[in-house]
Amino acid sequence: MPALPTIAVLVSGRGSNLQALLDAIARGDLAVRIAGVFSDKADAPALQRARDAGVHAEAIDPREFPNRLAFDQAFFARVDATRPDLIVCAGYMRLISEAAVEAHRGTLVNIHPSLLPAFKGLRTHAQALAAGAAEHGASVHFVTPDLDGGPVIAQARVPVRPGDDVEALSRRVLEREHPLLVATVGLLAAGRARLDGDRILLDGAPLAAPLQLGANEGFA
Ligand code: GRF
């Protein structure tokens, strides 16, 4: 039997996206092996979720390093030691140095809670509400040195409803983040989607616009 594609997951907090990946693997809906979960926060609940599933999990404290570059060298040395085919930032809240990003170009992806290129950075749900957006959602993109600006592979959209506050809107988005991440990691791990220069190839053909998650939790 051929070996399963291997992924590493980077986390900083709650870990609900990590849990979605673990659950999909357990159900047999995602054919990957998580080789390790890595965090910049020792108290991230995500680490316990990994351990509960029997997955190696470790944290490295940035305060033990003189600067971002030194931390990233040590951190990614640990990640790379698991020889991942794909590295998934799932709520990893730390900026990654350009050197580490470039060293992992094409294998590093992130889930961001907005319909990129709209609402980069933090507090995206508040940004969407303040802008009066009619629609909001989440994107999975390749990480490039341009923060939240790398090519977008796939998105999930939700409506913004009258009366929404940050909590209601973030809950609606998060519910769609989980199937979005599972479906996108599935495509990437299967080698169907990949970065080619600045564009994405899907089944060998340039992707003109991000894939959109359908109601069936697959891509239309
Ligand atoms: C998610 O909204 C993700 O898009 C963003 O950070 C949040 C992480 O949530 N990057 P969780 O830790 O996966 O529950």
Residue 128, amino acid: A
Atom of ligand 1 nearest to the CA of 93: 10
Query: Counting beta carbons within 10 angstroms of the beta carbon of residue 166, is it exposed (0 to 12), middle (13 to 18) or buried (19 or more)?
Result: middle
Tell the residue nearest (CA) to atom 9 of ligand 1. Answer: 91
**How far from the centroid of its chain's Cα atoms is residue 23's Cα?**
16
Atom of ligand 1 nearest to the CA of 17: 13
Taking the centre of ligand 1 as the mean of its atom positions, its distance from the CA of residue 31, in whole angstroms, is: 22
Query: Which of these is catalytic: 104, 112, 125, 136?
Result: 112
Q: What percent of the chain is modeled with pLDDT above 90?
A: 98
Residue 171 pLDDT level (bands cut at 50, 70, 90): very high
- Average the pLDDT over 77-84 and give the result: 98
Q: What is the 3-state secondary structure (H, E, C) of 30-42?
A: CCCEEEEEEECCC
- Average the pLDDT over 170-188 and give the result: 98
Tell the residue nearest (CA) to atom 14 of ligand 1. Answer: 16
The CA distance from 83 to 5, in Å, is 10
One DSSP character per residue, 173-202 reads: HHHHHHHHHHHHHHHHHTTSEEEETTEEEE
Residue 59 pLDDT level (bands cut at 50, 70, 90): very high
Measured from CB, residues less than 6 Å from any atom of ligand 1 are: 13-17, 46, 90-91, 111-113, 138, 174, 177
Tell the residue nearest (CA) to atom 6 of ligand 1. Answer: 91
End-to-end distance of the chain based on CA atoms, in angstroms? 30
Of 199, 178, 205, 203, whose CA–CA distance to 190 is shortest? 203
Of 127, 95, 99, whose CA–CA distance to 113 is shortest? 127
